[in-house]
Amino acid sequence: MSRKRSLLALSLTALLTLAACSGKNDNNANTAEGADGTASGPVQSQAASESQDAIAEAIRKGTYKFETPVKITTVKATDSTMKYKNGESAENNVHTKWARDELGIDIKYLWQVPGDQFATKMRLMLTSEESLPDVLMTEDMTLLNELIQSGKYKDITEDYEKYASPTIKEIYNSNPLMWSQVTYDGKKMAFPNFAHAGNDNGVMWIRQDWLDKLGMKAPTTFEELEVLMQAMLDKKPGGSDKIVPLGVSLGSGGSNPSIFNGWLGESTWVFGPSGTIPNQWLEKDGELVHGSTRPEMKEGLTRLRDWYDKGYISKEAGLHDENKLAELIGQGKVGIVVAPYWLPNWPIPDLEKNVPGATMNPYPLPSLNGKAAARDSTFLRGGLIVKKDFEHTDALFLYLNRIFEKGKTGSEFENGWYEDYDYTVKADGTISVDDADIPGGKVGPAKYLLMEPKNPFTNLKTLAKMSRGAEPSSAEEERALRTNPKVLKAGEYVDDGWQANTYVPNAFTGSPTATMQTKNGILSKLEGETFLGIIYGKKSMDDFDKFVKEWNKIGGEQVTEEANEWYQKSK
């Protein structure tokens, strides 16, 4: 919104009552005071109420500005992608300046630490009774749960209803899952944070140059896939014996403890057609069951062991995490990998640079007995919590209301966050997001925000729409049309998969239960060791049944009970 519109809103407020001119913006005020400081009667009380209604309306519209700047304290987890330009810093940059100038909001950082130190730092603040930040964004659900249970952070249900913009409510009320991770006893205890839905959903990427050399088509079934993998071994289209027909990251670890659910080289699609998804909660006959403990797992494990024995997957697959697999792809050693739509951004460019003529193209997941199925990666990513004694939740929502207009035609963030930061306007009037076009280089101002606004379902839907040949009707679609065509096509395959129910969502979307917090680590370790042992041939399939019994004994049975308690309440 423009500064002119902000001033118009303030003028309206001033006309309604003199109280608004004070700039105090006390959300709890419901009486007007006379010159002697006493309440001056029902007329003035009504005027004060009307004043607060007008302020709330201006906040919802994003046109308000605090005359006396409101300070919001926070903390930040940093990473290697946090970059600044023009001598700026986390606390003094193009975005914090915008918040001060446009909204009257002063964002202050109590501290910043690398992401792997963030949870520890927050827990130390909590146990030592230090003054906590007014707002805090974290994707760590265990930490978020601890902070909420501490009683230091508040229910934002009423503030959301009073101050959230129509844009925010349209997004956050569009799907019952939106609030599922952060709702406690019916109370909205955090403002949900999202990733793009389907961001890590797998499609099949194949070395197109190898396909062409072999004179083969992309496989559509498991049977055809096995023929292709055998041909890669026999005919050596890469000119070497040191190739991996199918790249999998069975040592994935990272943010997902399951050996099958990594964000690159996942293998849940091997199990999906048999009727289960590893390391994911599924609904069966009205109750939640853990996919890794289902007898259907045996078929997928048998198939992976067979592929391991035949050399279709690396003998060191259990040591390969996602980053190691990306390295192998970049070196030209991997023929096929199931991975997200964004692979043309990384690591395919490394492959094309290192191996002349090499590239990978996307294809739909193969089917078994007419069915393809894999995990649907969650878009729920923790949330933003507000300290109980913070008096200006209205300021937080004013801030959120403005940034959630990003990408809308006519908004101040229509083309990106800030000109000559993440985009530039070229001499011919066109918009460019290319690093080479942006004076001084490109940086990502989204990292400067209290949280990055997202409608989780628009990104892939937009990519799919453009891939199918639709004419762009917004700045967002114009930007999508300039995306790598392979990204667009892969996005289309993910959207096709949603429509065909190929991607199976996790049926448990609540915050971690008490036993999950204490036992998930040891349960995942037992699962990984057992399944990897079976694939390597060091354990028999009988060990699967032993695993299920042990899993239930050391905490799985209690975890299942708690998951079902949540599930019954969530219906």
3-state secondary structure 430-452: CEECCHHHCCCCCCCHHHHCCCC
What pLDDT score does 16 carry?
37
Residue in 187, 191, 193, 192 with CA at minimum distance from that of residue 157? 187
- pLDDT of residue 143 exceeding 80, the answer is yes
User: pLDDT higher for 40 or 406?
Assistant: 406
Q: What's at 60, amino acid-wise? A: R
Between CA 529 and CA 36 the distance in angstroms is 76
Outline where 62-203 has alpha helix (H): 94-98, 115-127, 141-149, 157-163, 166-172
Tell me 45's DSSP state. Answer: H
Neighbour-count burial for 288-326, b at 16+ CB within 10 Å, e otherwise: bbbbbbbeebbbbbebbbebbeebbbbeebbebbbebbb
- pLDDT of residue 5 exceeding 50, the answer is no
Decide: 182 and 189 in contact? Cβ < 8 Å. Answer: yes
Q: What is the mean pLDDT of the chain?
A: 90
Q: Percent of the chain beyond pLDDT 70?
A: 90
CATH of domain 203-375+504-569: 3.40.190.10
Question: Residue range 443-470: average pLDDT?
Answer: 95
Tally the residues of the chain.
571
Neighbour-count burial for 8-33, b at 16+ CB within 10 Å, e otherwise: ebbeebeebbebbeeeebebebebbe
Residue in 266, 292, 317 with CA at minimum distance from that of residue 524? 292
Between CA 92 and CA 78 the distance in angstroms is 16
- pLDDT of residue 381 exceeding 80, the answer is yes
- pLDDT of residue 24 exceeding 90, the answer is no
Between CA 282 and CA 289 the distance in angstroms is 5
What pLDDT score does 43 carry?
45
466: tokens are 């453009």
- pLDDT of residue 311 exceeding 50, the answer is yes
List, for residues 534-556, the tens digit of each pLDDT value. 999 999 999 999 999 999 999 99
Report residue 312's pLDDT band, with 50, 70 and 90 as the boundaries: very high
145 conformational bin, left if phi > 0, alpha if psi -120 to 50, beta if neither: alpha
pTM above 0.85, yes or no: no
Decide: 71 and 108 in contact? Cβ < 8 Å. Answer: yes
What pLDDT score does 148 carry?
93
- Lowest mean pLDDT across 13-27, 64-78, 132-146, 404-418: 13-27
Between CA 201 and CA 457 the distance in angstroms is 13
Tell me the CB-side half-sphere exposure of residue 141, using CA atoms within 13 A: 20
- For residue 135, give the H/E element and its range: strand 135-138
What pLDDT score does 487 carry?
97
- Lowest mean pLDDT across 31-45, 76-90, 351-365: 31-45
Distance (Å) of CA 427 to CA 75, 434, 561: 39, 14, 63
Between CA 48 and CA 31 the distance in angstroms is 6
- pLDDT of residue 86 exceeding 50, the answer is yes
Q: What's at 397, amino acid-wise? A: F
Neighbour-count burial for 227-242, b at 16+ CB within 10 Å, e otherwise: ebbebbeeeebbeeee
Q: How many other C-beta atoms can be found within 10 angstroms of the C-beta atom of residue 553?
A: 9
5: tokens are 């519109």
What pLDDT score does 350 carry?
96
- Lowest mean pLDDT across 44-58, 104-118, 373-387: 44-58
Decide: 58 and 5 in contact? Cβ < 8 Å. Answer: no
Q: What's at 554, amino acid-wise? A: I
Is 99 strand, coil or helix? helix
Count the helices and strands in the chain (H runs, E runs): 20, 17
Distance (Å) of CA 231 to CA 153, 312, 317, 333, 463: 59, 10, 20, 15, 33
Question: Residue range 452-475: average pLDDT?
Answer: 94
Residue in 387, 445, 405 with CA at minimum distance from that of residue 60? 405
Question: Residue range 218-239: average pLDDT?
Answer: 96
Boundaries of CATH 3.40.190.10 in the chain?
52-195+381-404, 203-375+504-569
Is 501 strand, coil or helix? coil
- Lowest mean pLDDT across 181-190, 328-337, 464-473: 181-190
Between CA 256 and CA 200 the distance in angstroms is 12
Decide: 92 and 113 in contact? Cβ < 8 Å. Answer: no
List, for residues 518-529, the tens digit of each pLDDT value. 999 899 999 999
Residue in 314, 309, 353, 357 with CA at minimum distance from that of residue 334? 314
Q: Which fold has domain 52-195+381-404?
A: D-Maltodextrin-Binding Protein; domain 2 (3.40.190)
Tokens 């309206």 locate to 12
R_g (Cα) of the chain, nearest Å: 27
- Lowest mean pLDDT across 22-31, 188-197, 314-323, 354-363: 22-31
